[in-house]
Amino acid sequence: MTPADEDGSQPSGDAADRHVPVLLERCVDLLAPALEAPGAVYVDCTLGMGGHTEEVLRRFPQVRAIGIDRDQQALELAGARLARFGDRFTGVHAVYDEIGEVLADLAIPSVQGVLMDLGVSSLQIDESERGFSYAQDAPLDMRMDSTAELTAAQVLNTYDERDLTRILREYGEERYASKIARSIVARRQTTPWERSAALVDLVRACIPAATRKGQGNPAKRTFQALRIEVNGELEVLARALPAAVEALAVGGRIVVESYHSLEDRLTKRELVRGATSSAPPDLPVEPETHKPYLTLLTRGAEEADAAELERNPRSASVRLRAAQRLRPTPTHMKSRSER
């Protein structure tokens, strides 16, 4: 997927024409040792346009792939792209924190590979009427699932100044959050929020020109914050990460691509938690039940190299982490909902 900071162009054509998967080879190479197992099952938690899943199905002829996405349009486009693989691919309309329920419904007890390519998809950015891109004027929608109720316009028109400030500061890491929130509330007293261009203009007016140099569009952080709020992205990710780890069979692997520090922080915390002994440091012998249940496959977060950036500019902010399951999760390390 991608951060929401693109130029707003709208390519036409099918899913393969409209999407270049980020770090495709690296993701598949990291998953490969687990996917080579007989009867392996792979879950793409954020299917999008299906580019990563297409490569997995092509490269591993024995793998069955499950693609989860909350965006019905993405599921349809990816489904057409992957139709040639027949019943080896199953698309599911769901939010990816429901991975456990999805697999239970399909009678799949565990899987060998999980990919999470976070952020907003190329499809959502390129469809200007969905309001994700600040580069084109559009309705303030930003719903990844068009059947959901909350839109960006509703957030701007109904949240109080304190909540707007919190969202902009926490989710957008916006230095001028309070000033922007105050201006948003003042404008809606006479003119309700409807279109993205008006929001871009307001944010630009709130941020001093001297601080805007070399920072790209000044509305980037505000749009990110609204998108995260509308779609509950961080709450979903916080539930999805442990659920995905629990779905892994021993030897299974998880790969996560994040596009901003908030996503990467949650990912790092969950994977490091599993790769760290839970035994008190003063114990002379580490009990078996306290040994790590994950091993990290990357040293820190990997970034796109020059070749990847040239091939796919949308990979500029990607941070990739991966881990492998060593053993079942000890009961005391599971969240209450997982026990």
DSSP, collapsed to helix, strand or coil, labels residue 104 as helix
Instruction: Tell whether 137 and 259 lie within a shared domain.
Output: no
Q: Residue 107 is part of a domain; what is its CATH number?
A: 3.40.50.150
Collect the ranges in the chain with pLDDT lower than 70.
1-19, 121-131, 213-215, 335-339
In a domain, residue 4? The reply is: no
Is 117 among the annotated ligand-binding positions? yes
Is 96 among the annotated ligand-binding positions? yes
Residue 64 DSSP one-character state? E
Give pLDDT, residue 180: 98
Q: Which domain holds residue 108?
A: 15-123+233-338
Give pLDDT, residue 216: 79
Is 50 among the annotated ligand-binding positions? yes
Give pLDDT, residue 126: 56
Q: Residue 179 is part of a domain; what is its CATH number?
A: 1.10.150.170
DSSP, collapsed to helix, strand or coil, labels residue 114 as strand
pLDDT digits (tens, 9 = 90+) for 57-71: 999 999 999 999 999
Give pLDDT, residue 309: 93
Is 290 among the annotated ligand-binding positions? no
Is 171 among the annotated ligand-binding positions? no
Give pLDDT, residue 134: 82
Q: Which of 199, 214, 231 is the last residue of a domain?
A: 231
Distance CA(188)–CA(84), nearest Å, equals: 50
Instruction: Tell whether 148 and 273 lie within a shared domain.
Output: no
Number of domains into which the chain is organized: 2
In a domain, residue 3? The reply is: no
Distance CA(71)–CA(299), nearest Å, equals: 33
